[in-house]
């Protein structure tokens, strides 16, 4: 879908950049000779010493157009220089991706609340350089039902609006079969009153992966840092580890472990651990340019024991569904 629109973007960019220059050229007066066609703006036919030539677009437009023209080639080269693994359900793949992704979680918490979390921290990934990727996300939408009306809420949660990823090291599966990247995600406090934390958040993360034939280990180590209300919100140390095995062309069964530690804030000294068995069906080809990845998993909290205030773990169990369109 997006690839088919790239030529349109490439054509529009030079036109948009050239418009201000054309607007500054005063339109010529109508010709007195009816047989003489009107001169178009940007052609200096009124000056006998200057030939009638169109105004050339700025030089930088050509570079911008070339950037979009070579987009597909850049994406292909970036993918060819890294492993071709399936992204786990929860652990972020350290390689570069170009896709649209939508995830949904159906969570049940120990305080008898049920939450549907639609599209949390997912969105559109674009490979913008040989080793760079950006992600633009939609805010997650929550639907929470509870026995106590005060715990029920429906609306948008805070928005993880933008992520920039820099790939540091990589080698394709046919060679070293590894990848290491670092990224930073920025979150905005746009959620409804019952969900927002009222603070911009920063999430620096280091991601890595190593393949051993059909067996793959992927992981991340990062943090969640609020830029305000640190004492009330607290910081988080976030780690993920995914063990995958590739079988039968498309299938990647996996086991993921997610550990969160709270060094300060209302949960100071506490931690929570989730286990998630699941499977993804990777790169189901739709045509030459498009493929789909589907995934399903069941997440279970294994530590600590249920604690009501502050609620720990955040929820008791969850079904996870994932759909990605790769282009």
pLDDT of residue 110 exceeding 60: yes
Query: What gap in Å lies between CA 32 and CA 3, rounded to an integer?
Result: 49
Q: At residue 204, does pLDDT exceed 80?
A: yes
Whether residues 120 and 249 fall in one domain: yes
Angle at 137 between CA 235 and CA 288, to 5 degrees: 135
Q: What is the pLDDT at residue 83?
A: 98
Contact 73, 292 (CB under 8 A): no
pLDDT at 149: 84
Mean pLDDT of 135-154: 93
Q: Domain check: are 106 and 63 in the same one?
A: no
C-alpha span between 64 and 10 (Å, rounded): 8
Q: Has residue 82 been placed in a domain?
A: no
The CA distances from residue 184 to 7, 86, 134, 166, in Å, are 30, 22, 10, 9
Same structural domain for residues 28 and 145? no
Specify burial of residue 102 (Cβ count, 10 A radius: 0-12, 13-18, 19+): middle
Q: 211 and 115 share a domain?
A: yes
Can you give the pLDDT at residue 301? 98
- Give the mean model confidence (pLDDT) for residues 113-139: 93
Residues 54 and 155 in one domain: no
Establish if 113 belongs to a structural domain: yes
Out of 11-15, 142-146, 174-178, least confident range: 11-15
Q: Are residues 194 and 115 in the same domain?
A: yes
Specify the DSSP class assigned to residue 138. Answer: P
Whether 115 and 34 share a structural domain: no
The reply to whether 105 falls in a domain is yes
Q: Are 184 and 164 in contact (CB under 8 A)?
A: yes
Are the C-beta atoms of 254 and 279 separated by less than 8 Å?
yes
Asked whether the beta carbons of 147 and 112 are under 8 A apart, the reply is yes
Percent of the chain surpassing pLDDT 90: 76
Domain carrying residue 276:
89-326
- Measured CA to CA in angstroms, residue 327 lies from 9, 286, 312 at distances of 17, 10, 39
Q: Is residue 229 in some structural domain?
A: yes
Question: Are residues 123 and 258 both part of a single domain?
Answer: yes
Determine, yes or no, domain membership for 235.
yes
Contact (Cβ atoms closer than 8 angstroms) between residue 117 and residue 142: yes
Lowest mean pLDDT among 36-50, 160-174, 226-240: 36-50
> Is the same domain home to 96 and 213?
yes
Q: Is residue 146 predicted with pLDDT exceeding 60?
A: yes
Q: Tell me, what's the pLDDT at 119?
A: 83
Q: Which residue has the higher pLDDT, 225 or 138?
A: 225
47-89, pLDDT tens digit by residue? 434 344 455 555 455 788 999 999 999 999 999 999 999 999 9
For the purposes of burial, counting CB atoms within 10 Å of the CB of 175, is it exposed (0-12), middle (13-18) or buried (19 or more)? exposed
> Are 49 and 102 in a shared domain?
no
State the average pLDDT over residues 119-135.
93
The total number of structural domains in the chain stands at 2
The mean predicted confidence, pLDDT, of the chain is: 86
Rounded (10°) CA dihedral 188, 194, 197, 202 = -40
Residue 127 sits in the same domain as residue 224: yes
Say what the pLDDT of residue 138 is.
Answer: 87
Comparison of pLDDT for 256 and 48, the residue scoring more: 256
Question: Are 43 and 177 found together in one domain?
Answer: no
């Amino acid at each position: 879908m997006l690839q088919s629109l790239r030529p349109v973007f490439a054509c529009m960019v030079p036109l948009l950049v050239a418009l201000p220059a054309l607007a500054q050229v005063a339109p010529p007066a109508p010709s007195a000779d009816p047989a003489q066609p009107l001169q178009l703006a940007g052609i200096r036919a009124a000056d006998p010493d200057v030939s009638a030539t169109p105004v050339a677009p700025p030089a930088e437009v050509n570079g911008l157009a070339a950037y979009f023209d070579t987009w597909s080639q850049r994406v292909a080269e970036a993918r060819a220089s890294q492993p071709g693994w399936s992204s786990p359900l929860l652990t972020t793949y350290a390689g570069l991706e170009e896709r649209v992704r939508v995830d949904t979680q159906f969570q049940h918490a120990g305080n008898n609340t049920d939450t549907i979390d639609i599209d949390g921290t997912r969105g559109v990934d674009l490979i913008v350089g040989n080793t760079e990727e950006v992600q633009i996300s939609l805010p997650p939408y929550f639907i929470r039902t509870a026995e106590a009306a005060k715990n029920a809420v429906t609306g948008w949660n805070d928005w993880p609006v933008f992520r920039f990823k820099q790939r540091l090291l990589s080698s394709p599966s046919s060679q070293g079969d590894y990848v290491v990247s670092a990224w930073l995600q920025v979150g905005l406090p746009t959620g409804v009153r019952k969900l927002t934390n009222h603070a911009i958040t920063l999430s620096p993360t280091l991601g890595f992966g190593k393949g051993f034939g059909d067996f793959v280990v992927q992981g991340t180590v990062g943090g969640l840092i609020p830029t305000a209300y640190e004492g009330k919100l607290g910081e988080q140390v976030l780690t993920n580890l995914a063990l995958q095995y590739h079988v039968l062309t498309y299938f990647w069964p996996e086991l993921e472990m997610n550990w969160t530690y709270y060094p300060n804030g209302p949960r100071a000294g506490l931690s929570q651990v989730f286990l998630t068995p699941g499977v993804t069906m990777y790169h189901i080809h739709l045509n030459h340019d498009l493929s789909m990845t589907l995934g399903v998993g069941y997440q279970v909290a294994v530590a600590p024991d249920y604690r009501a205030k502050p609620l720990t773990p955040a929820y008791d169990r969850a079904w996870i569904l994932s759909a990605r369109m790769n282009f």
